Structure 1
C-alpha cells in the first residue's frame, strides 16, 4: 500500500514535542508539506524532518498539494476551520485536542466528517497508556460492577503554559486548564464509565495566578510566554457532572494552585471494586473471599509514548486496519460539557444538558 501523504498545519511546540515524532516514526506515512503562519516555525520543522515544501497559509497548502491526511496542531480557535476545510477536500484529519472552542464548531466538524466519509479523529492520548488500556478491559470484564461515581483531575502547583500567549488568551484558546487539561481526563473517565450521557453540570472557576512568575512544572514549556500579554482565562476550575444513568463525576483542573505536588488522577467507585490511577500508579480496591484487598498491577515500561500510539491508531483506522476508539460525536458531547461548566461558573447555577 502506498504511503499516506500528510500535510501539517501548525508547527509550534505541541507539534515539535508530541506530533512530529509520531508522524515521522510511522512507516505508513510521509510528511510532504508543513504550514505555519509564522513561517520560520514551518521552515525549522521542515529542515528537521526532511520536508521540502512549507506554507504560511493552509488554504494554499490544501490547494497545491496532493494530500491524503491533514494533521492539525494549531491554537484551539483554528481547529474547526482547518479541519472542516480539509474534510471538504476529501482528506482525513487528525487534530490536536480540544475538538473546538464551542459545541457549535465541534458539531460542524462532525457534520463535515459525515458528509465527506473521511475520518476525523481528535487527540485522546490518555486512552493509550498501559494503565488506561488495562483498566478499561478490567471494567468491561465486569470486575468493578456498576460504576456509580468518581473523581478526576489534573492539578499543577505552578505550570501555566505560555503565560501571555495564546494559551492564556480566551479568544484563541477558549479557556484555561478546564479546556486544556479537562478534555483529557474527563474523556478518559467517561470512557471508563461506559460513556454515559451527561445531563447536568455545575462548576466554579478562579483566576488567582495571572501575575505568577514562578514556574516549576515541565508542562509550562508549552506555548511561548509573552511579557505584557493577555491572561483572561481561569487558572483553576472545579465541577460536578451528572449522567443519565444516575452516575456522577467530580472534576478539578489547575495550571497553578498551592498543592503539594502535580497530580493527574482518576478514581472510580464500583459496586464490586474501585480504582485509583494517580499519574502512572494504578491500584484496585476490592474484596476477595471476604477480605478487603488492594491490588497494584505492574506494567512494563512503555514501548511508545501515548501520543505516538494515538497517531498510529489513527493511521491504522485510515488504512482500515482498526476501528476508531473515539468519534466526532463524542467530541461534541465533550465540548458541550466544558461550555456548560464555564456557564455554570459564571451564573452560579447548575446547567442542564438534556
Structure 2
C-alpha cells in the first residue's frame, strides 16, 4: 500500500490533533518534525505517544524539505508564516495542509492559488467544521432540503481569547496577522459562507481592542449579493465559551448551539435533527485522499481567499468607521 510521507512544519499544540488524525489513516506516515522550539518535540511526543520514536527533528523547515523524502507537509505555524511555508513547499513539489487562516491577506491567498495550480498539488485548509456531520447536515438542509431561501443569519463566537493567549504569538500582529477575527473568528466566517453559499457585499463593523495590540471583540453586519443579511459577533473577552449560529429561511429556522443542531419548518412541531454518531471525516483524511488522487479537496484555497477578502473588508470598515464593499473581483 502506498503511503503519503508527511513532515510537520510546526509542532505546537495544534499539531497534536493533526498527528492523532494521521495516525488513524493507514495511507499516512509522519516522517519528520520541524519547530524552532526544541522543547516542542518532547511535548508533542508526550501528547501523542503513538508517534514513531526518534523521528528526524529540524529547527529550519528548509533543511527538512531538502533532506527528507517527503510527499506532503502540514503547516501548523503562526499565521503570518503560512505563506512562506506553503509556497516554498509547493515549489518543491509537495502537497500542503495548512491551519486556518490559510494566509493573512487576499493578495497572498491569490498567490497561493497560483502556486498550487503551477505545482499541480493538493492544498487543504484545515477548516474542520466543514467535515463535521452537524454542519454538513445544515448545509444539506439549506441547499437541497425543504428550508427554502436563506434570509438572515446571526452568529456568536465567544471565548476568553484575550486572557487565554495573552503574551503569546497570537497577540503579536507580526505573527498573528490580526486578532480574534483572524483566529477563531475565521471559522465562523468560513462556515457561514460555506453553508449558505452567500457572498457578503456591503459590510459595517466595529471592533474593541481592550488595550491589546490586536482586535478582541468584533460586531458586524453585512448584506450579501443575494440579499441574505448577516449579523455576526466575535467576542474574545468572554467569560465562557459560546458557539451559536441561527439560520432563518423562507420556510423555517436552523439552530446551531455549541455543537447541537435542531431545525424546524414553518407551522410544524416536529424537529429535524442530524443523524447520531461520531463524525467520520476530518481535514487530514481528506488531505491524504486528495494526495493520492482519490477525492477532491473539500476546503480549498479558493474558499480561503473568500475568507481573506471578507476579513480585510471587516478590518477596513472598523478602521474607517464606515460601510465597506467586498472587492470580490
Candidates 255, 258, 264, aligned match of 1:279: 258
1:250–1:94 distance in 2 versus 1, CA, 3 Å: same
Contact 1:161-1:167 within 8 A present in 2 as well = no
Specify the alignment match of 1:188 in structure 2: 191
Tell me which residue corresponds to 1:268: 247
Select 1:311's aligned residue among 284, 293, 296: 284
Deviations 1:219-272 (A, max 9, x none): xxxxxxxxxxxx4112211112222212121111122135xx421122111111
Q: Is the 8 A contact 1:159 1:256 kept in 2?
A: yes
Displacement of 1:42: 3.0
Matches within 5 A, 1:17-166: 18-45=17-44, 48=49, 49-50=51-52, 51-156=54-159, 160-166=163-169
TM-score (norm 1): 0.86
Specify every segment of 5 or more residues in structure 1 that has no aligned partner in the other structure, as ranges: 211-230
Q: Is the 8 A contact 2:142 2:149 kept in 1?
A: no
Alignment of 1:243 onto 2:224: yes
In the other structure, the counterpart of 1:346 is: 319
Structure 2 partner of 1:7? 7
RMSD of aligned alpha carbons: 1.9
State the TM-score, normalized to the length of structure 2. Answer: 0.92
What's the CA shift for 1:41? 1.2
Find the residue that maps to 1:245 and give its secondary structure. coil
Query: How much has 1:324 moved relative to structure 2?
Result: 1.9
Contact 2:126 2:299 survives alignment (8 Å): no
Which of 325, 331, 338 is matched with 2:298 structurally? Answer: 325
- Once the two structures are TM-superposed, the CA of residue 193 in structure 1 deviates from its matched residue by 0.7
Query: Does structure 1 conserve the Cα–Cα contact (< 8 Å) formed by 2:4 and 2:291?
Result: no
Task: Provide the C-alpha distance between the structure 1 equivalents of 2:78 and 2:192, rounded to a whole number of angstroms.
Answer: 25
Contact kept, 8 Å, 2:123 with 2:297, in 1: the verdict is: no
Contact 1:126–1:185 (Cα < 8 Å) also in 2: no
Q: Which residue of 2 aligns with 1:204?
A: 206
For structure 2, the 5+ residue unaligned runs are none
Change (3 A) 1:107 1:268: same
- 1-structure distance, mates of 2:118, 2:182: 27
Provide the C-alpha distance between the structure 2 equivalents of 1:28 and 1:153, rounded to a whole number of angstroms: 38
Contact kept, 8 Å, 1:87 with 1:93, in 2: the verdict is yes
* Aligned residue number for residue 224 of structure 1: none
Any idea what the Cα deviations from partners look like across 1:30-60, whole Å, max 9, x if unmatched? 1111000112213543684125201000011
With 83-92 and 142-151 compared, the bigger mean Cα shift is at 142-151
Whether 1:293 and 2:292 are equivalent positions in the alignment is: no
In the alignment, is the contact (CA less than 8 A) between 2:32 and 2:64 conserved in 1?
Answer: yes
